[in-house]
Amino acid sequence: MFEIKFKVRDYECDAQGVVNNANYLHYLEYTRHEFLESLGVTFQQLYKERVAPMVARIDIRYKISLTGGDRIISRLNLKRVGAKYVFSQELFRESDNKCCCQATVEVIIMQDGKLTRGDYFDDMLKKY
């Protein structure tokens, strides 16, 4: 549904030159933010409108390690399950197209401090 590419930065790696596991969460979040911008909205706009997408749950499976300088292909798919948006995300090492991690991210939408069904995004998501 959505794909971006970016590069591992050296400061994201541990002393062995391997990407620290917490940085994979950053990569996944970065992809979701870029996806949101592809819909024509930013988190700053959402904040002003008192709309708050929030991660409710993440299941991540690490496959192979990324290292400094690796190029990443980040892909996501999205489906609606009741009031939640469920992102299926994968990170691939571009050099050999091997899957580095797979994640399922459940997101809820708060508006004016109350849980909603996420209808705010329905029209935007029709392009996908």
Report the C-alpha gap between 82 and 60 in whole angstroms: 22
Give the model's confidence band at 101: pLDDT under 50 very low, under 70 low, under 90 confident, else very high. very high
Confidence check: pLDDT of 76 > 90: yes
What value does the mean pLDDT of the chain take?
93
Report the C-alpha gap between 128 and 20 in whole angstroms: 32
According to the model, what pLDDT value does residue 123 have? 76
**Residue 29 main-chain phi, psi, to 5 deg:** -65, -40
pLDDT in tens, 40-62: 999 899 999 999 999 999 999 99
* CB-based burial label for 66 (10 Å; 0-12, 13-18, 19+): buried
Tokens of 65: 């390690």
**Pairing relation of β-strands 98-111 and 71-81?**
unpaired
Return the closest-CA partner of residue 105 out of 37, 47, 52, 53.
53
According to the model, what pLDDT value does residue 25 have? 96
pLDDT in tens, 107-121: 999 999 999 887 888
According to the model, what pLDDT value does residue 120 have? 80
**Residue 83 main-chain phi, psi, to 5 deg:** -85, -5
Mean pLDDT of 12-25: 93
Confidence check: pLDDT of 75 > 80: yes
According to the model, what pLDDT value does residue 127 have? 72
Confidence check: pLDDT of 14 > 80: yes
According to the model, what pLDDT value does residue 125 have? 81
Question: 44: Cβ–Cβ under 8 A, 6 or more apart, which residues?
Answer: none
Structural domains present in the chain: 2-125 (3.10.129.10)
